[in-house]
């Protein structure tokens, strides 16, 4: 794939995923390469972000490109009623690639249909976050030495967590066993369970975050309850602290267990876990920079030696 948008992780075949992971390892070894000289990259963030925006912008800087964009849509003409289509058409006049986060599911797909430069989806509502998936896959590969035949336990907000939805699809090429742990209110939507069934992917579902589940896991993928997606904040209050990972819960777990979290965290991982060699979420976020260098180069059809 070259000079193409990345809207959903389904835009990548298994071969694409493996190729991007290989490219990511090159940037991990040497992140500073002048591959984007003369290119302008736009970051349009209609929703808040720390890691995604800053790691994309660092990636562009390390590759010698230039950045335009915004992190607060209230400062743009969309606050005066300008449509997403017109915004994209305008940025098409200025930039070679657009990296966009938007609160509406499907916004990135729509942008890719009206844009004449590649669109990289940096998260659209509760739908997809494909570059997070690529950095999650890279982190899993780096810590486990393989992507095949792993037991991946996903914990927390499986209803609104777009990183969960994307990772589930990304891992589907590698014969995973999924364990889904969520309260009734935040269970994985049926559409993703249907996806598992139709792809013959093994999964188990629990409301209890038990010691047995943690001990069987290769990867514990913790997630934040997504307060911004709730229309009734009383419902959020009921579930916000439903699962909290504590250091003593790691006793007797597999040596290769690694704890991932797309971040930001709120209360779902206690700070004393941070010192555990099994905590990998800060390195995971660092991997995002290398992954995004790879994704940008791939989308622009730039060869990396």
Q: What is the DSSP string of 40-96?
A: EEEEEESS--SHHHHHHHHHHHHTT-EEEEES-GGGSGGGGT--HHHHHHHHHTT-S
Closest CA to 56 of 285, 283, 301: 285
Size of the chain in residues: 305
Which member of 53, 62, 101, 292 is catalytic?
A: 101
Report the interface residues with ligand CP, using CB under 6 A.
Answer: 49-52, 123, 132, 262-264
Which member of 43, 52, 87, 151 is catalytic?
A: 52
Which member of 4, 26, 33, 51 is catalytic?
A: 51
Closest CA to 96 of 15, 46, 35, 8: 35
Which residues make Cβ contacts (< 8 Å) with residue 78, sequence separation at least 6?
46, 84, 87
Which member of 75, 80, 191, 303 is catalytic?
A: 80
* 213/281 with CB nearer ligand CP: 281
* 62/292 with CB nearer ligand CP: 292
**Whether 24 is catalytic:** no
Q: What are phi and psi of 266, to 5 degrees?
A: -115, -85
Contact between 49 and 104 under an 8 Å Cβ cutoff? The reply is no
Cis peptide before 264 (omega within 30 of 0): yes
* 35/285 with CB nearer ligand CP: 285
Min dist. Cβ of residue 55 to ligand CP (A) = 8
**Whether 101 is catalytic:** yes
Min dist. Cβ of residue 263 to ligand CP (A) = 5
**Whether 129 is catalytic:** yes
Min dist. Cβ of residue 289 to ligand CP (A) = 12
**Whether 224 is catalytic:** no
Min dist. Cβ of residue 54 to ligand CP (A) = 8
**Whether 52 is catalytic:** yes
* 118/130 with CB nearer ligand CP: 130
Min dist. Cβ of residue 53 to ligand CP (A) = 6
Strands annotated E in the chain = 40-45, 66-70, 97-102, 119-124, 151-155, 177-181, 202-206, 219-222, 258-260
* 130/213 with CB nearer ligand CP: 130
Enzyme catalytic residues: 51-52, 80, 101, 129
């Amino acid at each position: 794939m070259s000079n193409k948008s990345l809207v959903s992780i389904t835009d990548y075949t298994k071969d694409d995923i493996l190729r991007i992971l290989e490219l990511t390892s090159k940037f991990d070894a040497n992140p500073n390469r002048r591959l984007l000289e003369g290119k302008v990259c736009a970051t349009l963030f209609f929703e808040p972000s720390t890691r995604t925006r800053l790691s994309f912008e660092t990636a562009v800087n390390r590759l010698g490109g230039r950045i335009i964009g915004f992190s607060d849509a209230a400062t743009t003409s969309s606050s005066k009623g300008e449509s997403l289509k017109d915004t994209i058409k305008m940025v098409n006049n200025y930039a070679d690639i657009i990296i966009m986060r938007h609160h509406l599911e499907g916004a990135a797909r729509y942008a890719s249909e009206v844009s004449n430069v590649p669109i990289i989806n940096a998260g659209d509502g509760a739908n997809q976050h494909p570059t997070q998936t690529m950095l999650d896959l890279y982190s899993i590969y780096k810590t486990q030495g393989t992507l095949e035949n792993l037991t991946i336990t996903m914990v927390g907000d499986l209803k609104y967590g777009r990183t969960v939805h994307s990772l589930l699809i990304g891992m589907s090429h590698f014969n995973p066993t999924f364990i889904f742990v969520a309260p009734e209110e935040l269970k994985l939507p049926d559409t993703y369970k249907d996806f598992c069934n139709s792809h013959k992917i093994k999964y188990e579902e629990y409301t209890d975050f038990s010691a047995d589940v943690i001990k069987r896991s290769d990867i514990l993928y913790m997630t934040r309850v997504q307060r911004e997606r709730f229309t009734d904040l009383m419902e959020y209050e009921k579930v916000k602290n439903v699962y909290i990972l504590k250091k003593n819960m790691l006793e007797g777990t597999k040596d290769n267990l690694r704890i991932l979290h797309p971040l930001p965290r709120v209360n779902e991982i206690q700070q004393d876990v941070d010192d555990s060699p099994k905590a990998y979420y800060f390195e995971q976020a660092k991997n995002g920079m290398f992954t995004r260098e790879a994704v940008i180069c791939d989308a622009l059809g730039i060869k990396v030696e």
